[in-house]
A and B are shown apart, each in its own frame.
Chain A
Amino acid sequence: MSVLKDQFEDTVTVQRVVYQLDRGCIFAGELSDGRPIRVKFAGNDTHPLPGDTFHVRGLVDSYRDKFGKTVVQINSKHMHRVVTAGLLLKPWLERLPNIAGTRADRLIRAFGHDLQTVLNDVSRAHDVAKLIEPTKPALAAKITSQLYAAVAIQAGADQIRSAELEFLTFLETLGLQQSRIAGQLWRFMAGFDAVDRLKRNPYVPASLMDWKPADRIGQRLLRAAYEGADLQTHPARLVGALNSVWRDILSEGDTAATEATVKAQLEKRGVDPDTTIRLAEERGSLRRIGVLLRAPGAAWIEDQIVSALLAMESTQPTVPISAGQGLESLVYDAEMETGLTLTNEQHGAVALLLTLPVAALQGGAGVGKTTVMKVLATCWERLGGNVVMSALAGKAALTLSKGASTSARPRLAYTIARLIGMAQRQALQTENPAFKRPASDVDFTSTTLLVVDEAGMLDTPSLHKLLSFLPEGARLLFVGDEGQLPPVGIGKVFHDMVAEGSRVAKLTQVLRQAADSDIPKVSALVRDGKVPPLAAWSGQTKGVFVVPGAQIESVQRRLRGKTELMVIAARRATVEAINESESLEARNKTTPTRRLGPFATVAVGDPVVAAVNRYQDGLFNGLLGVVDSIASPEVSIKWDGEREPRSLPKEAEADIELAYGITCHRAQGSSSQAVVIVVEESRLVTREWIYTAITRSLELVILVADVETLTKGIERRTRRTTGFSLPARSPMGAAHIGQRP
C-alpha cells in the first residue's frame, strides 16, 4: 500500500459487498497481503462481486461498525477493475463450481504465478486434471474441461475490461477527470475499439458535460485527427455546440426554445450561430414548431405522445357512452350510489369527461377534484369499464386511494412508476404467457380508464413510457392544477393540454377550507400574481401569516411536536441546514442515533422521507414517516397512511432522508396541518412555487419572508417552453353537457 499523507492507491480484492447503489457501492475487501480494508466508492456502473479485484485510489478514512470496532475505510472516486492474473485468480477460482477450496489451493501451489498461462494452454490440461483429482481421472477430466471453458469466458470478459481501462486512461490523458462522465462516455463508446470510436465522435462529450471542458477535449481530438484544419468551424464542433445548448435548455425542463435564445447560447460557446443552425438544418437534425426550435430527442418523445393520444381518440369506443339524457342519468345514479351531491360545475365536468377518450380535469386547491374522480369512476364502472387510479408521488396515491374509495368499493391508487412496472410485466406476459407476474398487479384492458392525479407533475418521458404500454381502447384522464409547479423532469404535457383547452373540464368553485380558513383565498391571490395582505403570526392555529426571516428557528420550535408540521424551502442547502439544526435541537448528547446513509443519521421521533421509489419495500419517493425505533438491527419507521411501524430493509437505508425540512417538489404530493414556507431570494422561488407550497397546508401557513422577497417571488414566474402540440379536438355535441336533468 502506498500512502502519501492520507492518499491510498492499491489493489483490493472484494470479500463482501455491503451496499450496492446506482451510483456507488461499499464493500469489505482484502489487500494483497491479506489485511482487511473497507472501500466506499462513488461512481457509476460498478457492481463488484466477491472475488473481483479493483485498483483503488482514494483517501484514507476510518469507519466504526456497530460493534464499535474501527476499520480502515478508503473513500474512492477512482476505481478500476483489475484484470485478474496469477495469484489473484484464487478468489475467482474459488467461486467456480467443483473447484472451490482444496482444488484451488492445489492449483495455486503447483503453478503459482504461471497459473493463468497454464489455464490458457490446453496442452497442459492433463497436468491440471491430475492435480484436480489424482484418484478419479474420469471425473477430473470433466472438471478440467469445465475449468478451461470458464477461463476462456473470463478471458473474453477481461479483454473488454482491458479495453475499458485503456479508454478511461485515454480520457485521463485528455484531461477528463470526472469518473461519472468517464463512465457515461464509456457507455456511448463501449467496445474493443472505444478509443477510435471517440476519435471519430470527438464532440459526444459536449452532450454530457459543460461546454468548456468538452470543447477542450473535442479540439484536442480534432487536432490529432485533422492536422492543420480549422478547428473552430469544424462541423463536429458546431454540432457539439448545438447539443451542448440543448443540454442546458433541457436541464431547465424546457424542450424547446426560441431561435434567438438558441443563437445567443451558441454565440456564448464561440461558434457562429447562423452557420450552426444552417448545418443542423441541412443534416435534418433541426426540428421547428412555430417560432420555436425543438430539442431533437424531446421532440421525438412529444410527437410520439401526440400520436398515441390521437390514436386513443380515433379508436372505436369499447365502452358505449350514451348521449343526452342517458348520460345525465348515469352521472346522477353514480351520485346516488356514492352518496355525494355534486355542484353543477362538478356534475358538468363528470358528464363532459365521460365523453372524452383523452381529457384533463383542471382545478385549484379545494375545488373537489377527488369527488369528481370518485363519481366519474363509479359511472365508468357502471358502464362495464375498469378504472385504474394513479398519482406521481406515493403520498398522493395514498390520499387518492382514501378519497376515491367507498366501503363498498375500495379503489387502490398506484404511483406512476409502479404502474409502468405493472404495464411492462403485462406486456412481457402477453409476449410470453409463461412469464409470471404478481397477483397484486392491475390489468390494463381495452376498457381501462386510467386516471392520473397530480398530472401537472408528470414529466414527458414518464408519460411516454406509460402510454407505450397501454392497450388499444384504453382511455386517459389527467387531473391536476396548472397553477402548480411543472414537473421536475422535462416537459409539461398537462399544462399544455389545459392551455390548448379543447379536452378540458375546469373546476373553479372553491369548496374545501372556505368556511374557516384563509388558505383558498390567499392561494387564489398568489395564483393571480397578487401579493396577499398578511398579518404577523402571534400563535394562531388557522390562517395564513408572515414572520421575519430571523424567526425561522423560533417558529419551528413553537410548532414542532404540537401539530403536524411541514417545512418547505427552495434551496437544497437551506433544507440541509434545517435538517441539521432541527435534528440537533431535538436531541441531547446522550440521545441514541443511528446512521442510515450519507443523507441521514436518525434518532427516534425524527421525521424522514423516502427519496426514491422502492416498490418491493412499499416505499415511494416523497413518502413521509417518523422513526419509531432504532434499537433492533433494523430501523423501524411509521410511514404516513400506515397503521403500524415497520422495519426498514438494510438496503433501503441509504434512500432515507431527514424531513425536518423538504423541497417543494418533494412536498408536492403531500399535505400537512401546518406548513412553514421559507421564502428565499432565489430564482427557484416563483409564483408557482409559493402557490404549490401554500396549498400543501390544511390549516395554518406561515411564510418566513420579508415583503420585498415575497413580492419578487410572486412576480417571478416558472416559465417552461415546450414543443408539445396536441391538435384541438373538434367539438362533439357537448352543448347539452353541464346542466342537471
Chain B
Amino acid sequence: MPRPSVIPTVKAALEDYLERMQVAFLAAPEDLRVPTLPATPDGKVNVRALAQAVDLKQTQEKYLYERQELTTLINLVAEGQGLMPIGSRLLVDAADKALKDRMARTAQSAKASAQAAVEAQSATAELLEKLRDVVLENESLKAQNMRFKAQLDMIHSGMMVGVQD
C-alpha cells in the first residue's frame, strides 16, 4: 500500500499558522502594520523561516516551493502583507500586480469590528465592479486583436479583406 501523503498534514499546519499570522497582522493599527510572516531582507516571504515556524523537517521544505496548493496559499497571505511571493513568475504582469496590490490594500483596511467589515465589503464590491469593467474591456480588446490578426493572416495568404468596424 502506498504511504499516505504528508501534504494534507503540512497544509493543515500551514493554514493554522497563516490564520494566526493574518489575525496578528490585522490586529495592529492600520498605519503601524508590518508583515507578520517571516521575510527576507529584500522583502520576499522567507520560506525557510516559515518552514521552521510550522515545524517542517528540512527535507519537507521543498514542498512549500513545489506544491502549488501550498505555494498559492502562502502567497495569498504574503502578498496581502506587502511581501513578494514565492516564485516571481507568479507575478503575471505589472497590471495584475497593481490590481492585486489594490485588493490587498482594501483587505488590509478590514477591521475586526462589524463596522469595518461592512466598509471592507463595500470596498471589495466597488473593486469587483471595477474588475468586471476591466475584464470586459480586456475581452473586447482581445477580440479586436483577434480581428486584426485574422486580417493580417489573410494578407499573408495573399488576400486583403477590409472589415469596417
Contact = CB atoms under 8 A, between A and B. Distances in A.
A191 interface: yes
Given A123-B121, A138-B22, A188-B161, A301 B136 contact: no
A302 to B, nearest CB: 9
Interface residues of B, number: 49
B160 A296 contact: yes
A125 interface: yes
Given A160-B143, A191-B143, A148 B158 contact: no
Contacts of A55: none
Interface stretch (A16-24, A149-157, A369-377, A620-628): A149-157
Given A97-B69, A152-B135, A155-B132, A146 B76 contact: yes
B155 A300 contact: yes
A139 B165 CA distance: 47
Contact of A97 (B15, B72, B77, B124): B72
Contacts, number: 149
A490 B158 contact: yes
B23 A138 contact: yes
Nearest to A184: B150
Contact of B163 (A139, A156, A204, A300): A204
Contacts of A212: none
Interface string B64-107: 00001100110011001000000000000000000000010001
B88 to A, nearest CB: 12
A351 B77 CA distance: 70
A189 B161 contact: no
Contact of B107 (A145, A207, A247): A145
Contact of A192 (B68, B73, B140): B140
Contacts of B26: 138
Nearest to A143: B76
B45 interface: no
Contact of B156 (A98, A123, A155, A461): A461
A197 B159 contact: no
A148 B155 contact: no
B13 to A, nearest CB: 12
B159 A295 contact: yes
Contacts of B121: 122-123, 125-126
Nearest to A294: B158
A142 interface: yes
Interface residues of A, number: 58
B151 interface: yes
A717 interface: no
Interface in A183-199: 184, 187-192, 194, 197
A159 B150 CA distance: 21
Contact of B18 (A139, A188, A243): A139
A197 B77 contact: no
A298 B158 contact: yes
A98 B23 CA distance: 19
A652 interface: no
A187 B150 CA distance: 6
A155 B156 CA distance: 35
Contacts of A136: 15-16, 18-19
From A153, A188, A465, name the one whose CB has the most chain B CB atoms within 10 angstroms.
A188
B34 interface: no
Interface in A628-681: none
Interface of B: 15-16, 18-19, 22-23, 26, 68-69, 72-73, 76-77, 80, 103, 107, 110, 117, 121, 124-125, 128, 131-132, 135-136, 138-140, 142-144, 146-147, 149-151, 154-165
26 contacts: A97-B69, A97-B76, A98-B76, A133-B15, A136-B16, A136-B18, A139-B77, A141-B107, A149-B128, A149-B131, A152-B128, A152-B135, A156-B132, A156-B138, A187-B146, A189-B163, A190-B144, A191-B144, A197-B163, A295-B159, A297-B157, A298-B159, A460-B158, A461-B157, A490-B157, A490-B158
Given A146-B76, A189-B147, A295-B159, 10 more contacts: A98-B69, A126-B117, A139-B15, A156-B135, A159-B139, A188-B147, A192-B139, A243-B161, A250-B158, A250-B159
The 4 closest A-B pairs by CB, nearest first: A156-B135, A298-B158, A97-B72, A296-B160
